[in-house]
Amino acid sequence: MVTPESDRQHLGSVTTADGTVIAVASIGAGRPVVYISGWLSHLEHGWRLPDERAFYRRLARGCRLIRYDRAGCGMSGPARQPPSLASELEQLAAVVAPLGPEPFDLVGVSLGALVAVAWAAAHPATVRRLVLSGGWVSGAAVSPPSAREHVLALVGSHWGLGSDVLTDLFAPDASAAARAEFGRYQRAASDAATAQSLLALSYALDVGPLLAEVRTPTLVVHRERDRAAPLAQAEELARGIPGAELVVLPGRSHLPWAGDAVALAATIRRFLGLRPVGAAEGGLTPRQREVAALVSDGRTNREIAERLGIDERSAEGHVERIRLRLGFRSRAQIASWWAAQGERPAAPPAP
């Protein structure tokens, strides 16, 4: 199957004021939505992960989603200065410079949420809407000092083990295979020293004094049992930013594309004023839409087969093709995706 041009990732680069080359990726077309990733990223490796790629494609429907690897990570050049909030803002400035004078939407995830807060506070005229996902106010409040010290030491001395431990923390809802692949992805994204220094920055930052300066319409979205960033920190973000909306979703994964990524993407799109991504945009055939509706109703493959007048093996094949087409791992994700479309069941009435 040929990938539509709107679903292709386009790679480029920009250069910061200090000469650091920052790799940039864009997908889709329309008004710009700038996405600041969490701790580590790799534009190419992330795009190869089916769950992560599906999340970005869903966000990018009807807009142009722009992502980048921070200095020292992924496809970007080595950092020329130690990690700091000032350096993060310099990198973001280089990424958004080509966008022109019109305001853009800004989505910050995890560590990126703190960078997004600082940018919106300093450059209010540049941001149309602000989304903070899985973020926090103070890194010191994320976990006890002993736990932070242990994780930093583990990442610095045993990066392989450290990346696996953090993967289990960040994505407990992902499959074992997806977690193993993400562990390899983290190691490809950064060496141990850079990973340790960026994690230390995550723990050191405190954007509390900046919250009241944010005047941009803001959504704070957080999973209820996020194991890496306490919900209390999201609540503090929402309280501190004037007029901010807080949405708490079920789940415990910190990574946005793990767990119920469909509901998270739908929540972000709603706030940004992007229309819902309907079933047709997921690329499903009419028969697959019928099957998806029945999966959402909790029907087994046998029940689906009886309802549609097909054999059970055909029903199983339809479910598997839907899963692969949408980049999902489970029937539960198909059901959540269908429910997020606001569609009425497409299956014929029971005989």
pLDDT tens digits, one per residue of 178-224: 788 888 888 999 999 999 999 999 999 999 999 999 999 999 999 99
Alpha carbons within 13 angstroms on the beta-carbon side of residue 345 total 15
Residue 333 has pLDDT above 90, yes or no: no
One-letter amino acid of 99: L
Which residue is it, tokens 């997921």? 282
CB proximity list for 286: less than 8 A, separation 6 or greater: 346
d(CA 80, CA 68): 17
Mapped onto helix, strand or coil, the DSSP state of residue 214 is coil
pLDDT in tens, 68-101: 999 999 999 999 999 999 999 999 999 999 999 9
pLDDT in tens, 11-64: 999 999 999 999 999 999 999 999 999 989 999 999 988 889 989 999 999 999
Please tell me the predicted confidence (pLDDT) of residue 96.
98
More confident residue, 262 or 328: 262
CB 135 within 8 A of CB 211: no
CB 56 within 8 A of CB 255: no
Provide the sign of the torsion angle of the four alpha carbons 78, 80, 85, 90, taken in this order: negative
CB 94 within 8 A of CB 182: no
**What is the mean predicted confidence (pLDDT) over 120-139?**
97
Please tell me the predicted confidence (pLDDT) of residue 276.
77
Residue 282 has pLDDT above 70, yes or no: no
pTM, whole model, 2 decimals?
0.80
**Count helices and strands in the chain by DSSP H and E runs:** 14, 8
CB 125 within 8 A of CB 29: no
Please tell me the predicted confidence (pLDDT) of residue 182.
84
Please tell me the predicted confidence (pLDDT) of residue 279.
43
d(CA 22, CA 14): 5
d(CA 68, CA 316): 39
Query: DSSP of 143-195, one letter per residue?
Result: S-HHHHHHHHHHHHH-HHHHHHHHHHHH-TTS-HHHHHHHHHHHHHH--HHHH
Q: Which of 43, 34, 27 is nearest to 75 (CA)?
A: 43
Band (5; pLDDT cuts 50, 70, 90): low
Phi, psi of 118 (to 5 degrees): -65, -40
Count of beta carbons in the 10 Å neighbourhood of residue 286: 10
Residue 157 has pLDDT above 50, yes or no: yes
Query: DSSP of 301-313, one letter per residue?
Result: HHHHHHHHT--HH
pLDDT averaged over every residue in the chain: 89
Phi, psi of 101 (to 5 degrees): -80, -15
Band (342; pLDDT cuts 50, 70, 90): low
d(CA 342, CA 278): 8
